[in-house]
Amino acid sequence: MTALTLSTAAAPGLRADAIVIGVGKGGKGPVLAPGADAVDKAYDGRLAGILETLGASGAEGEITKLPAPAGFKAPLVLAVGLGTEPEDDQAYDAEALRRAAGVAARALAGNKKAAFALPVADAADLGAIAEGALLGAYSFDAYKGIAPAAKKDAKGNGKGPLGEAALLGGKPRDKDHKAAVERALAVTEELNRARDLVNTPPNDLDPEAFAAVAQTAAKEHGIKVEVLDEKALEKGGYGGILGVGAGSAAGPRLVKLSYTHAKAAKHLAFVGKGITYDSGGISLKPAGHNETMKCDMSGAAAVFAAVVAAARLGLEVNVTGWLALAENMPSGSATRPGDVLRMYSGKTVEVLNTDAEGRLVLADALWAASAEKPDAIVDVATLTGAMVLALGSRTFGVMANDDAFRAAIVDAAEEVGEPSWPMPLPEHLRKGMDSPTADLANMGERMGGGLVAGLFLREFVGEGITWAHLDIAGPAFNESGPFGYTPKGGTGSAVRTLVRLAELTAAGDLG
């Protein structure tokens, strides 16, 4: 894990492997961002011109490396593109800073220490830079042959993530600055842990193993935890979770994490889809569609991370996290297409396609969450390929039974730098799930499949409870190259949105 420090040292005297500065895209070429002045001075004010000569434009994500000026302790200056320079008197927006810090941290992998001299207009900017650096520095090499530490040279440099990010421009004694950094630390550590869970191969992370990780973390952070195993699920009548887990040698689990605050006025419930591997079951996925399906527990990982982050931040709100964990496998004991499951809510569901399993485990968890009558429920799931077709691989869809709540979630996501888009729940799609045998089927019309799934979930939300559904099938797992502060593989999608929702609820600004 990359260490984070605040430094007030002057640029020339900084002991680091590199100094990171920001460069924006101006009308007539690259323009230095605030924070770069001390470095520029050492180049006699010629730094913007030098960067232009080197081909820099200030475009987002661009990296330009140059030797540090004479007299500097650090050998390297790394200029990172911030994108279009803001209008007069405006500061760079937080997401531009977050991305630039992430790009720089990634480019500096293998180094011991980098100093970040990016523009800091306020505490929020400092927090964004901290987040970007810590998220961008993430790497997952638990399964690589040689432990990362062994790859370092005598100076401690080598492979593995950036060792330390020292932020300049912050005020270490300022209350708001300190809080922003503390928040960034808590959120990014838990988010990176969610990424680890997603990236862990499914032979090492089955429902039981995931539940054990949740139990350990909950104890560490004073969160109450209950785990229902197969026996308890059977006794309780959780037919959805049991039906999905029936084909696997690794039994399903339902984990309940309860974070409570003595002064809390509101109660939020987060529900996560936790399919530790989705083979499709008897409706087996073809090759080409199952290689990344270890990512199908990303919703549960996000919920887990958000509850722990809320606890670490001591937010004045009660947050219950529900992790619906199962492995979807074909076998002689697996649920068949045509089987009817009696769900925890009492409704019966005809399983027409065993690959539409996420909605089945979520249905039971949503009903369990509803029994506590929380002020709102938000579920998070890698639910449908249809949502990826609709919104692409970086944007999650937001559906809800309340338009204002849906809008508030899209706004909260935007605020933390997570792209999302409101999606409808068209009533006419409901009848496609009518079943001749059971109360409803787990499949409906193919067109609008993401919305059909949302309508299915809505059937299992308790009467009168505000509910939203985030379909993160696109952004949960990055199959292409890294960008900004997003690595390849597990991304930690929705963690920051959930934490923001908990914060807004604690502040009385939501619902």
CB 275 to ligand BES: min, Å: 6
Which residue from 386, 339, 347, 385 is spatially nearest to 363, judged by alpha carbons? Answer: 347
Shorter beta-carbon distance to ligand BES: residue 276 or 345: 276
Q: Can you name the residues that pair with 326 across neighbouring β-strands?
A: 275
Q: Looking only at residues 275 through 304 of this chain, which bind Mn ion when binding is defined by CB under 5 A?
A: 278
Which residue from 26, 83, 43, 32 is spatially nearest to 59, judged by alpha carbons? Answer: 83
Which of the stretches 22-30, 96-104, 177-185, 272-280 binds Mn ion when contact is defined by CB under 5 A?
Answer: 272-280
Q: Looking only at residues 383 through 412 of this chain, which bind ligand BES when binding is defined by CB under 6 A?
A: 383-386, 388
* Burial status of residue 117 (CB atoms within 10 A of its CB: 0-12, 13-18, 19 or more): buried
Shorter beta-carbon distance to Mn ion: residue 260 or 353: 353
Q: Please give the DSSP secondary-structure letter assigned to residue 304.
A: H
CB 340 to ligand BES: min, Å: 17
Residue closest to ligand BES, measured at CB: 385
Distance CA 444, CA 452 (A): 6
CB 358 to ligand BES: min, Å: 5
17 near Mn ion (CB under 5 A): no
Q: Can you name the residues that pair with 270 across neighbouring β-strands?
A: 321, 378
Distance CA 326, CA 214 (A): 15
* Residue 350 CB neighbours (<10 A): 20
Per-residue binding string, ligand BES, 264-293, x by CB under 6 A, is: --------------x---------------
* Burial status of residue 155 (CB atoms within 10 A of its CB: 0-12, 13-18, 19 or more): exposed
473 near ligand BES (CB under 6 A): yes
Per-residue binding string, Zn ion, 287-326, x by CB under 5 A, is: ---------x------------------------------
How far are the Cα atoms of 103, 166, 167 from residue 157, in angstroms, in the given order? 19, 17, 20
Q: Looking only at residues 390 through 449 of this chain, which bind Zn ion when binding is defined by CB under 5 A?
A: none
375 contact partners, CB below 8 Å, separation of at least 6: 266, 267, 268, 466, 505, 511
In angstroms, the first-to-last Cα distance of the chain is 36
Distance CA 342, CA 438 (A): 9
Q: Which of 24, 358, 454, 475 binds Zn ion (CB under 5 A)?
A: 358
Residue 359 annotated among the catalytic residues of the structure: yes
Which residue from 328, 356, 334, 366 is spatially nearest to 432, judged by alpha carbons? Answer: 356
CB 395 to Zn ion: min, Å: 19
Shorter beta-carbon distance to Zn ion: residue 364 or 503: 364
CB 324 to ligand BES: min, Å: 12
Q: Of these partners, Zn ion, ligand BES, Mn ion, none, which one is at the site of residue 489 (CB under 5 to 8 Å by kind)?
A: none
Distance CA 468, CA 471 (A): 10
Marked catalytic residue, from 113, 256, 359, 406: 359
Q: Can you name the residues that pair with 78 across neighbouring β-strands?
A: 20, 65
Q: Of these partners, Zn ion, Mn ion, ligand BES, none, which one is at the site of residue 443 (CB under 5 to 8 Å by kind)?
A: ligand BES
Shorter beta-carbon distance to Mn ion: residue 125 or 355: 355
Which residue from 320, 339, 322, 321 is spatially nearest to 244, judged by alpha carbons? Answer: 339
Shorter beta-carbon distance to ligand BES: residue 113 or 359: 359
Distance CA 299, CA 172 (A): 35
CB 282 to Mn ion: min, Å: 12
Residue 285 annotated among the catalytic residues of the structure: yes
Distance CA 32, CA 425 (A): 47
CB 282 to Zn ion: min, Å: 14
Tokens 């708001």 sit at which residue?
176
| Beta-strand relationship, 396-400 and 376-381 | unpaired
Which of the stretches 64-72, 245-253, 275-283, 468-476 binds Zn ion when contact is defined by CB under 5 A?
Answer: 275-283
Q: Which of 62, 278, 327, 471 binds Zn ion (CB under 5 A)?
A: 278
Tokens standing for residue 400: 């809800």
327 near ligand BES (CB under 6 A): no
Q: Which of 202, 272, 281, 358 binds ligand BES (CB under 6 A)?
A: 358
CB 490 to ligand BES: min, Å: 12
Q: Which residues bind Zn ion (CB under 5 A)?
A: 275, 278, 296, 358
Q: Which residues bind Mn ion (CB under 5 A)?
A: 278, 355, 357
Q: Which residues bind ligand BES (CB under 6 A)?
A: 278, 296, 353, 355-358, 382-386, 388, 443, 449, 473
The residues that are catalytic are 285, 359
